[in-house]
Structure 1
């Protein structure tokens, strides 16, 4: 195992394979992802329906910004858009990427039964930039998923997100959508998203 020095002498050494999010730049960097990303919908157990892959890509983009775990953007052709509906819930503005439009998810098992009458199972937990800033032009129409669907898995169903086969953990808080994996580190300071980190 290789090791690398931490950001200051008070911080412990961390594996070389686990870059600290504090090494990411601001404005953020866009990088092509060299591994597979996947989002899988798991229906509620009582439905008897199988799990369905919503998104699966080997050609995604990662957005890496200081103090944040990466967010991942799927090419539109790598997302099963049959299950998506444009959301009326909100738009948000990112100073680096532009105005985000949000999407709802229709549960595949509901769509199969009710077609156009199906109600969204997940609201406004997917977003895209139809008119991104020049900095983010490569993200145009790509789709980004919160790592948690914030739904009741037992009654509604839920999705799981995977990076290079590893199930990811959600960034702390519910504003940002970073995917936390075992190969990134926040060091002693941690990652942005939790209480007291808003001004980072």
Structure 2
């Protein structure tokens, strides 16, 4: 059964108004990621991917990430029909690590070239991810990497019963 779109209020976006195939757009919103009490990423130059039924996935430029906390995972990869083959990073700060917590596209498909080597993070594996100071909620299900904020309404793909949306 297909979900019923939630009508967005003033200043909100509905993920059901996002396109398929997804759209890529730049954003100057302030993005921060904290892990093990350390700000590992801080930018106003992110890109976001907007896809029907998904909250935005934010991709951050490497120059705004403390790369010493990213450990490439040689054996991990996945494939997106829109963006291509993704590689993964384990995030390690001090004695704490989150395996496969971030991903990137070293050779994305032409429409997604602007995110080449940008990095996205799973919010559920980080301590805090913020957009404009608001702590995000992870997309349900821990499979997709979208970030939910008060200005995004669903319902969102990822929870029980949503696999076929």
Larger radius of gyration: 1
Deviation at 1:27, TM superposition (A): 0.8
2:80 matches 1:125? no
Would the aligned equivalents of 1:89 and 1:123 in 2 still touch at CA under 8 Å? no
Deviation at 1:41, TM superposition (A): 1.5
1:5 alignment partner in structure 2 = none
What secondary structure is seen at the aligned counterpart in 2 of 1:137?
A: helix
Deviation at 1:196, TM superposition (A): 1.2
Cα distance in structure 1, aligned partners of 2:6 and 2:116? 39
Q: Larger strand proportion, structure 1 or 2? A: 2
2:118 alignment partner in structure 1 = 142
1:99 alignment partner in structure 2 = 85
Unaligned 5+ segments in structure 2 are: none
Deviation at 1:142, TM superposition (A): 0.2
Deviation at 1:159, TM superposition (A): 2.1
Cα distance in structure 2, aligned partners of 1:62 and 1:141? 14
What secondary structure is seen at the aligned counterpart in 2 of 1:148?
A: helix
Cα distance in structure 1, aligned partners of 2:35 and 2:77? 24
2:42 matches 1:56? yes
Provide the aligned length of Structure 1 versus Structure 2: 162
Unaligned 5+ segments in structure 1 are: 1-9, 43-50, 111-119, 150-157
Deviation at 1:83, TM superposition (A): 0.9
Cα distance in structure 2, aligned partners of 1:105 and 1:11? 35
Task: Please list every run of at least 4 consecutive aligned residues from structure 1 whose deviation after the TM superposition is greater than 4 angstroms.
Answer: 10-13
2:134 matches 1:184? no
Deviation at 1:130, TM superposition (A): 0.3
Deviation at 1:88, TM superposition (A): 3.5
- Superposition TM-score, scaled by structure 1 size: 0.77
CA-based RMSD: 1.5
The CA deviation string for residues 100-131 of structure 1, in whole angstroms up to 9 with x for no partner, is 00001112x33xxxxxxxxx611001000001
Match of 2:71 among 79, 85, 94: 85
Deviation at 1:18, TM superposition (A): 1.2
Cα distance in structure 2, aligned partners of 1:28 and 1:12? 20
The CA deviation string for residues 106-163 of structure 1, in whole angstroms up to 9 with x for no partner, is 12x33xxxxxxxxx611001000001000110000000000111xxxxxxxx521000
What secondary structure is seen at the aligned counterpart in 1 of 2:63?
A: helix
Match of 1:22 among 16, 19, 23: 16
Would the aligned equivalents of 2:25 and 2:47 in 1 still touch at CA under 8 Å? yes
